[in-house]
């Protein structure tokens, strides 16, 4: 069960302390009582919007959340990942400072500790993450054709979806990579922040289904490679 730790981590954000955080939770056919847990947080005053649906693909749920989100900026909050306490504020500040900037991302620590917190986790022992850090390159559209390096929780302008569309719901695992390729092909401006702002749990669905993830990544590259090369 991850959802309580994820919500706790979001409520510890400095952005929440400033009254600037909205949490949208999509519970899609859960069998682990996540809906009840989320309602308990809502009843206690947490700024949560809860959407419940039948079982559906992850990017369908992401799109539901984006449609109802009221803020100018959005980020995905995977239940098994965590953020530094000031992560959302620092990313939002970067977007505030540059109106032409569409997306920001930062480096991550890597753990295989279940339900870790930012202040209590152990480094991953799984290759290739034994140095406990994912250090991403600075943004370069051509480099994006080699691999997806926006990390587990970038922040982007909601208005980007007006320009380039929502996540492609035909993808099961690489829909975020396809989205960033599509945005790059259409001239989106992205930037890496010089900071470690997230804690990535090694052991999620992508690593359990690496063959499918690789297949979908190739499909996305075939669709957008030539557009990025011409840009």
What confidence score (pLDDT) does residue 229 get? 73
Share of the chain above pLDDT 90, in %: 83
Determine the topology of domain 3-230 in CATH: Spore Coat Polysaccharide Biosynthesis Protein SpsA; Chain A (3.90.550)
Give the Cα-Cα-Cα angle 169, 13, 94 (nearest 5 degrees): 70
Convert the pLDDT of each residue in 73-117 to its tens digit: 999 999 999 999 999 999 999 999 999 999 999 999 999 898 999
Domain boundaries, the chain: 3-230
Where residue 30 falls among pLDDT bands split at 50, 70, 90? confident
Instruction: Kindly report the average pLDDT of the chain as a whole number.
Output: 93
Alpha carbon distance, N-terminus to C-terminus of the chain? 44
Global confidence as pTM: 0.94
What kind and span of H or E run contains 52?
Answer: strand 48-53
What confidence score (pLDDT) does residue 208 get? 62
Residue 37: pLDDT over 60: yes
Residue 227: pLDDT over 70: yes
List of residues 6+ apart from 133 with CB closer than 8 A: 107, 108, 109, 110, 196
Q: Distance between CA 148 and CA 86 in Å, rounded? A: 24
Spatial contact of 83 and 153, defined as CB atoms under 8 Å apart: yes
């Amino acid at each position: 069960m991850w959802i309580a730790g994820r919500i706790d981590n979001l409520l510890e954000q400095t952005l929440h302390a400033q009254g600037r955080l909205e949490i949208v939770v999509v519970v899609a056919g859960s069998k682990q009582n996540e809906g009840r847990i989320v309602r308990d947080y809502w009843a206690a005053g947490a700024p949560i919007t809860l959407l419940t649906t039948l079982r559906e693909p992850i990017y369908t749920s992401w799109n539901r959340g984006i449609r109802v989100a009221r803020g100018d900026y959005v980020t995905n909050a995977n239940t098994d990942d965590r953020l530094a306490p000031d992560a959302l504020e620092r990313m939002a500040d970067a977007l505030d400072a540059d109106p032409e900037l569409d997306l920001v991302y930062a480096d991550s620590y890597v753990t295989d500790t279940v339900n870790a917190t930012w202040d209590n986790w152990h480094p991953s022992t799984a290759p290739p993450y034994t140095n406990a850090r994912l250090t991403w390159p600075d943004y370069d559209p051509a480099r994006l054709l080699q691999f997806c390096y926006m990390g587990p929780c970038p922040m982007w302008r909601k208005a980007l979806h007006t320009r380039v569309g929502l996540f492609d719901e035909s993808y099961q695992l690489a829909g975020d990579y396809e989205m960033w390729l599509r945005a790059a092909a259409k001239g989106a401006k992205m930037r890496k922040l010089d900071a470690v702002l997230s804690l990535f749990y090694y052991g999620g669905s992508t690593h359990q289904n690496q063959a499918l993830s690789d297949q979908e990544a190739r499909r996305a590259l075939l669709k957008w490679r030539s557009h990025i090369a011409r840009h």
